Structure 1
Amino acid sequence: PEYIAKSFYPSDLFRQTGLQAVGSRPRRIKPAKKSKGREPQETLTTELFVLGPKDAFRSWERSLPAWVSGTHLAEDMVTIEEIAAPTARDKIKGPLPKSKDAVFEVVLHTDQLFGETEALPAFQKYVRSLGIDQKFDKRFYAGGLCFLELEAPVALADEIATFTIVRALREMPRLRILRPAFRTSGVPSQSLTLPTKPALDPSIKTAIFDGGLPATHPLGPWSTAIDGPHVGASHPELLKHGLQVTSALLFGPLDPTKPVPVPYSNVDHYRVLDMTPGQNPHELYEVLERIDTVLNNTDYDFVNLSLGPSLSIEDDDVHAWTAVLDERFSQADTLATIAVGNNGEGDAAMGFNRIQVPADCVNALAIGAADSPDTPWQRAAYSAVGPGRSPGLVKPDFVEFGGSMQRPFLVVAEGGVSKLDPTGGTSFAAPSTLRLGTGIRAHFGHNLNLLAVRTLLVHSIEASEIPHNEVGWGRLARNIDDIVLCEDDMIRVIYQGKISPAKYIRAMVPMPDSELSGMVEITATLCYKCNTDPHHPGNYTRAGLQATFRPHDEKFKKDDQVHPNTKSFFGDPGLGAGEDELRRDAWKWENCLHASRRLNAKSLSRPSFDIHYNARLEGRSFSPAEQLPYALAVTVRARKIADLYDQIVRKYATVLEPIRPVVDIPVRT
């Protein structure tokens, strides 16, 4: 456990022994000894999976007595606490079904090249020797893992798991049942008048993957129904859910006392479900394949997923849905929202109330539900809770109104006449969030990339004293004007660009020329997208940005110091992480950081953030050739300076570029 930083990776040991590290996972152990004579305690470490011929392991064992202290090999050897071969039972996840036959999800340690040429043919030959003859048509590769579907007798599970490169075997999870989180009664169906205008920005490409749209509905002017690849017959319950999700994305929660807003964008609704979830054991991979095919062939600006496996996330394994979608979203300028699930009232001790796959995607926003759009508010009881996996601890990212028994989420009902339909669930909080994202893009156009849009959504949240594992960073801003407008005593700036590995970028925090007084509040949000290593869940993100805050450009601790003193800004967001988490550099590899600090005005002089790009690959040091896209939002508020905005705009007239709206959007007055 004392040697888990990427600088301690035992590269020389693996090179000398002829072994290859093919994966890892977090594991808690109590080491035999601890340095400096301290008492050993249970703590978090990294368990490595290594692969090689049997002769390599035997040769390693024979050569050990000849190793000399002080050599690289000996130094690598002392970083290892324990060596053991995984058993079949170690690989089997969860209880096995009681039926005679079952559909399993098998995870193999292999990438696509080795998998297609050697690993899969060998595994296929092995399972055939057990009497199982399958073509492995449904399979996905992500990072160094292959996820495949296997129908087999339950009695053979141990023998299947015995195959060397099997990392995990579980009964294939079922899809979440797409029904409201609660049932409403006694709510009259009110008629409403939908807008007659087209979407504010028809050029925005938005997609929903859900249950489809019914034959008769009033959302035709702004929505296009598309059948996903190889989808079967539709189902009435799924069509109703799909319509409700589409209504939430186009209009948000409807208010019968106010006019229905004009949608910011049109939407393509892909029907990827063809029967009631949970009835077909093969549907999980079928649905993922339909989604992946669309994302691989069509570029979308915004994507919403209000579906996924009925499976809470695990710390030591990444599911196929998360691995595949994270890889897709890391490679495209797409903003995706994912519902965290309605299992928030599940058994907390067993982790059954934790966010559901794929809400643990680090390259997408995981959205939970609040019980009210007004104040006061709290997490809706049904909304799944965090934390997420580390990295990716702050999940959900934030919450949005999703409805409650007292205040249902109102959507457009099916049929030829426009009426209200009450519902509720994280399924509607997620598209309602995406709607606000499309509004920012419609307002500013391509002046802001979609990573900056994501950053603004997090940056503008309504903070709360509710624990982060329940509501993430807080609740989504109520209106678009809360995001795009600045009051007279504040200013908000956006930095967006790319940074090279091991390089620094200095982002100045704008300040006026006049002398400040009183307290100044600085809020900052830093987001980036990155490639992932699903076969190394404890080292899942390949990139880390460290933002060092320097509040005063004239304060130095030492005479020969090059850069001004630093002050803590981003840190533990209060998720109860222990010392072992901090030692693992957990916050260095989080791809979304957000914090607010109140500082005495006298302590500030040309403050700045120095942003440094660290990279790793499979948990070890790495220097990629490509640059990393990032976005940083900074808001400064000084309540004693009534014209702070004007002063800063004048001062930085040749430095900061005002982001001008490209379309007019009605804002609150």
Structure 2
Amino acid sequence: MSTNSKRLILANGEKYIVTIQKKKPGRSGDLPRTYDEARTLVRNELTSALGNFASLPDRKRYDDEAVLCLRLHPERMAKSYDPKGLLDTVRDLENVGSRSYKVRTQDVAQTKRIKKQLESGIEELTGRLVFIRSNDAGFRRLLKKLDESERALGKSFCEDIQSIERFDLLRSKEQLLFPAGWKEGRVELVLHPTRHSEAEQMSFLGNLFDQGAKPIMQARPYPDGPTFISCYLSEAALAAIADVNPLRAAHPLVFGGLEDLRSAALFPAPLPPSNSQRSIVRVGIFDGGIDITNAHLKDHAEQDENLSIDTPPDTQCVAHGTAVAGAILYGALNDRKIKENLPAPQVSVVSVRALPTSSISDPDLYECIDVIENAVPVRNDVKFWNISFGPRGPIADDSISRFTYALDALAVAHKVGFCVAVGNDGDAGPDLNRIQAPSDLVNGLGVGAHTILDRSITHAEYSCHGPGRECGKLKPEVTAFGGCNLNPIHLLSLNSGQKLLTKGTSFASPQVASLAGQANGYIDRSSPLLARALVVHTATHTKSKPDERLGYGAIASNFDELVRCDANHVTIVFQKSLAPKEFVKLPIMLPAGLVTVGTATIAWTIACLPSVNALHPSDYTSACIEDTFYPNSQIHRISPPKGAGRLREKILHLGNDADELNKLRDEGWTVSELPVTYSPKYRTEAQKRAVEQKWEPLVKRVVEMPADSLATPFLVLHAIPRKESTGRLEFAAAVSITVPEFQGDLYDTILRTNPALQPVRLRSEAELRIQI
């Protein structure tokens, strides 16, 4: 192998991406019932649902508007099975959202696939529930349509009716997402979209409660989305909203507070940097404010008071924010010598104080979210933000919190990145240790904590773990050092010249934000999307495969590890956008015939930036990129002509099997348009979501193969939109080729054979620093 020193990763890969034509198979699966069977079922279900709606007390429903649940058969999980034909036929009905639901396998129509699942011991299935809004007259028009003959109705309408499993009301246990034993606390209500005004919605909710016990409610409606409401409820008040028809979901919104640093052990801190320059690469924090007079911060951090919350600072909050800011600037101080100056930070900090809220006894996180939604558009010089707080408690699969939705929407609208701590209840038990909002965001990074024991990286027990929700199941994405009781993290203290010892995901997340900020700011023509991809791409897992505790693994220890490669480990980055339904070929730039011995490892990370829809928790992202790996361009599938009896397809090499291939072509056999894929095929929608991370905006995959089995390998990327998605989908990808036993210089060969590629340009110190 060449002994050349580390070299920069290669850019401009997008210049070699080409659009291709590829046939996409249509919808598959048996229709669950005949039309006559389905018509009878739907008629009975809908009649019963309307009766149940009419029997609700007046205070629990609108007279002129009902939301019913159309539950699709579990084989109709994909959003492409939404009942568009039904809605086009009965225009009075509107789709106002969706979610998933659980059902016993034996309780649904027994198709061939369902029978196989039942026989294999699968006792519960996930189906798709579509919320349909109309008035009584609109639903009765659907009943009249069901009286018409099948021949008089369109095919799509009939197939939609055949896909329905139930038509009913949302059950209270599906609305109220609370742990056992909950007594009282701050709650977030999520209301269905409605034609009623915000004032009418608030009046409706107020009438649910006793006149003397109406809670104070803050409403935040979103255009074309749900209305989020924050309020403090007792157990009795919560019971009063059960079965309320406009209510989509209710879940706790309790702020558990920041890590208490008052009792942390204190020791002398290293000396502040002696450098008189500040980085212009800014990383933002929303936290409790910072001590701007701290010698370690004053030249490298600012606090934007104009955008901060309008409450007096709190010492405990400022201590937390100062520690977070120090983690961004210097990382963990564990290995820093006390009597030496710290190196000049690679970034600077912009602090926007979001805590404390106006009430110490009952913190309302809606005030914090308001600050964030106001600050991000104004501070367009900040491309990465860190958030190390949020509501305590595990996420709920079928309800998106306002905090999560706000961050995801901001990421898309303003092309920014967020790093969010996953929470510190990882050791709280099976029902409480799951990641906490807003770390379940899909257009940012949920960050967990690891610790180092016996020189090995291990999951910190307190760090919450996955899975995440649909469209973001792999959580956390990455981890950073957060310390533990045996090996605490060392951070800046409020006490001048001292550091404190503690632990927490709050202090792991800012280290990721710092690294991502450098990847965005130091690489010319970079973006928050590419920075996110590189942070994940270079993360390393002790077991070499992702899991629900460490995600894709621990982040790189420094920026250099993100942007350097060597002679036999080469990384190429791509930045582009795809049109809806577009297929493109992304080459794995391993020169043909170059590497023939040993093992080759191909790794790729793809990050995209889809818009999100809080009305559809199980279909939260508007689009995704499906990636398919083709290791050998010469190996194809050869199919016999139609009507050829028992003849089976063959797999042949275009060169080695040329004679046989030509003979088969003469006999009417056809060659597949693309080579044989390494990626799995013929999986159901549920399997693709569970195994392949379909609909997730960020995926990382690693394939290890004999080097001589690769021949001009490539990826096919397919932009898959939901039905309402029309815009182009931005993406960034990093592809690495590693061939340890290759004796030549792979890096140099790839550069020579692909002249449009160039090493990324890093901005110079003169471009990145200003005099203090």
Normalising to structure 2: TM-score of the pair?
0.77
Q: 2:748 aligns with which of 634, 641, 646?
A: 646
Aligned mate of 2:352, from 258, 263, 270: 270
Aligned to 1:177: 257
Q: Deviation per CA, 1:293-352, whole angstroms, max 9, x where unpaired?
A: 11233322110000111121111111111111111112222121100001100121x2x0
Partner of 2:39: none
Indicate the larger mover: 311-320 or 158-167: 158-167
**Cα RMSD for the two superposed structures:** 2.9
- CA deviation after TM superposition for structure 1 residue 182, in Å: 11
Please show how residues 394-433 of structure 1 align to structure 2 within 5 Å.
394-416=474-496, 418-433=497-512
* 1:532-572 Cα shifts (integer Å, max 9, x gaps): 11111111111110112122222222264364314335999
Unaligned segments of structure 1, at least 5 residues = none
Q: Which moved more, 1:216-225 or 1:27-36?
A: 27-36
Q: Is the 8 A contact 1:142 1:323 kept in 2?
A: no
2:631 is matched with: 551
Distance between the aligned counterparts of 2:563 and 2:536, measured in 1?
13
Alpha-carbon distance between aligned partners in 2 of 1:441 and 1:98, rounded to the nearest angstrom: 45
Post-superposition offset of 1:581: 3.8
Give the C-alpha shift of residue 410 in structure 1.
1.2
CA distance in 2, matches of 1:195, 1:362: 36
**Given the superposition, is the C-alpha separation of residues 524 and 585 from structure 1 closer, same or farther in structure 2, using an over 3 Å criterion?**
closer
Distance change in 2, residues 1:231/1:372 (3 Å): farther
Identity of aligned residues (%): 26
Indicate yes or no: 2:108 matched with 1:32: yes
Question: In 1, Cα distance between the equivalents of 2:540 and 2:364?
Answer: 38
Corresponding residue number in structure 1 for 2:336: 256
Unaligned ranges ≥5, structure 2: 1-73, 639-664, 767-772
Matched, 1:243 2:345: no
Assess, with a 3 A threshold, how the Cα gap between structure 1 residues 269 and 230 changes in structure 2: closer, same or farther.
Answer: closer
1:455 aligns with 2:455: no
Q: CA deviation at 1:360?
A: 0.3
Q: Is the contact made by 1:181 and 1:342 (CA closer than 8 Å) also made in structure 2?
A: no
Contact (CA 8 Å) 2:97, 2:616: kept in 1 or not? Answer: yes
More displaced stretch, 124-133 vs 329-338: 124-133
**Cα distance change, pair 375–134 in 1 and its aligned pair in 2 (3 A):** closer
1:209 and 2:291 equivalent? no
Distance 2:219 2:531 in 1: 35
Q: Over residues 140-165 of structure 1, what are the superposed CA-to-partner deviations in whole Å (9 max), with x where a residue is unaligned?
A: 42752110234567645444455432
Larger deviation: 334-343 or 154-163? 154-163
The offset of 1:6, in angstroms, is: 2.9
Partner SS, residue 497 of structure 1? strand
* SS class of match (1:454): helix
Separation (CA, whole Å) in 2 of partners of 1:261 and 1:541: 41
Q: 1:438 to 1:38 in 2, by over 3 A?
A: closer
1:74 aligns with one of 124, 148, 158 = 158
Q: How many angstroms apart in 2 are the aligned matches of 1:583 and 1:361?
A: 17
Q: What displacement does 1:477 show? A: 1.2
Deviates more, 1:247-256 or 1:636-645: 636-645
Question: Structure 1 residue 589 and structure 2 residue 665: aligned?
Answer: no
Q: Using CA pairs below 8 Å that are at least 6 residues apart, which structure has the higher relative contact order?
A: 2
List per-residue Cα deviations over 1:68-91 (Å, max 9, x = no partner): 278432221110111112255642
**Is the partner of 2:167 in helix, strand or coil?**
coil
Is residue 549–residue 566 contact of structure 1 (8 Å, CA) maintained in 2?
no
Q: What is aligned with 2:551?
A: 472
> Is the Cα–Cα contact under 8 Å of residues 570 and 593 in structure 1 kept in the other structure?
no
**Residue of structure 1 aligned with 2:442, choices 362, 384, 401:** 362
Distance of 2:149 and 2:361 partners within structure 1: 56
Specify the alignment match of 1:4 in structure 2.
77
Q: Contact between 2:284 and 2:386, CA under 8 Å: does it hold in 1?
A: yes
Give SS of 1:505's match.
Answer: strand
User: Partner amino acid for 1:313?
Assistant: I
**What amino acid is aligned across from residue 449 of structure 1 in structure 2?**
S
**1:361-393: CA deviation from partner (whole Å, max 9, x where unpaired):** 000101000112984111001100101012101
Deviates more, 1:85-94 or 1:397-406: 85-94
The structural deviation recorded for 1:96 is 8.4
- In the aligned structure 1, how far is the partner of 2:500 from the partner of 2:602? 42
* Separation in 1, partners of 2:522, 2:188: 44
Tell me the amino acid that sits aligned with residue 370 of structure 2: E
Q: Secondary structure at the match of 1:557?
A: strand
State the match for 1:313 in structure 2. 395
Task: Give 1:20 shift.
Answer: 1.1
Please report how far the alpha carbon of residue 275 of structure 1 lies from its aligned counterpart in structure 2 after TM superposition.
5.8
Q: What CA distance in whole angstroms lies between the structure 2 residues aligned with 1:192 and 1:365? A: 30
The residue aligned with 2:731 is 630
Match of 2:762 among 661, 664, 668: 661
CA shift, 1:587, in A, is 2.4
Structure 2 SS opposite 1:407? coil
Partner of 2:362: 281
Q: TM-score, normalised by structure 1?
A: 0.88
**Aligned residue identity for 1:457:** V
Distance change (3 Å), C-alpha of 1:89 and 1:584: closer
Task: State how far apart, in whole Å, the 2-side matches of 1:88 and 1:515 are.
Answer: 63
Measured in 2, the distance between the counterparts of 1:76 and 1:432 equals 50
Cα distance in 2 for residues equivalent to 1:493 and 1:50: 47
Equivalent position of 1:512 in the other structure: 591
- 2:249 equivalent to 1:168: yes
TM-superposed CA distance for 1:9, in Å, is 1.9
Q: For the Cα contact (< 8 Å) 1:182–1:423, is it kept in 2?
A: no
Name the structure 1 match of 2:58.
none
Please tell me the residue identity of whatever aligns with 1:212: G
Call closer, same or farther: CA 1:199–1:107 in 2, change over 3 Å: farther
Instruction: Please give the alpha-carbon distance, in whole angstroms, between the structure 2 residues aligned to 1:181 and 1:473.
Output: 30
> SS at 1:470's partner residue?
coil
Question: Aligned to 1:189, what secondary structure does the other structure show?
Answer: strand
CA contact (8 A) 1:496 1:631 kept: yes
Amino acid at match of 1:437: A
SS in 1 for 2:143: helix
Distance 1:552 1:149 in 2: 55
Secondary structure of 2:501's counterpart equals strand
CA distance in 2, matches of 1:373, 1:298: 40
- 1:657 maps to a residue whose letter is Q
Alignment partners' CA distance in 2, 1:179 and 1:318: 25
1:312–1:355 Cα contact (<8 Å) kept: yes
Q: Secondary structure at the match of 2:678?
A: coil
User: Structure 1 residue 144 and structure 2 residue 225: aligned?
Assistant: yes
Residues 554 and 200 of structure 1: is their aligned pair in 2 closer, same or farther, counting only changes over 3 Å? farther
In the TM superposition, what are the counterparts of 1:294-443 in structure 2 within 5 Å? 294-299=375-380, 300-348=382-430, 350=431, 352-372=432-452, 375-416=455-496, 418-443=497-522
Aligned CA distance change for structure 1 residues 545 and 455 (closer, same or farther; 3 Å): same
Counterpart of 1:486, as a letter, is C
Code of the aligned partner of 1:38: K
SS of the residue corresponding to residue 527 of structure 1 reads: strand
Contact 1:106 1:148 in 2 (8 A): yes
Q: Check 1:373–1:262 CA distance in 2 against 1; reply closer, same or farther (3 A cut).
A: farther
CA distance in 2, matches of 1:583, 1:476: 25
- The answer as to whether partners of 1:570 and 1:594 remain within 8 angstroms in 2 is no
The residue identity in structure 1 corresponding to 2:699 is L
The residue number in structure 1 matching 2:62 is none
1:421 shift after superposition: 2.0
Question: Quick one: structure 1 residues 156 and 380, their matched pair in 2 at CA, closer, same or farther if it must change by over 3 Å?
Answer: closer
CA distance in 2, matches of 1:514, 1:555: 15
The superposition leaves residues 616-639 of structure 1 with CA deviations (integer Å, 9 ceiling, x where unpaired) of: 0xxxx3450x21110110111111
CA contact (8 A) 1:451 1:631 kept: yes
Residues of 2 paired with 1:256 and 1:332: CA distance? 37
8 Å contact kept, 2:631–2:678: no
Amino acid at match of 1:477: A
Is this contact kept in 1: 2:435–2:466, CA < 8 A?
yes
Taking the aligned partners of 1:644 and 1:470, their CA distance within structure 2 comes to: 35
Q: Cα gap change, 1:48/1:138 in structure 2, threshold over 3 Å: closer, same or farther?
A: closer
CA distance in 1, matches of 2:680, 2:145: 47
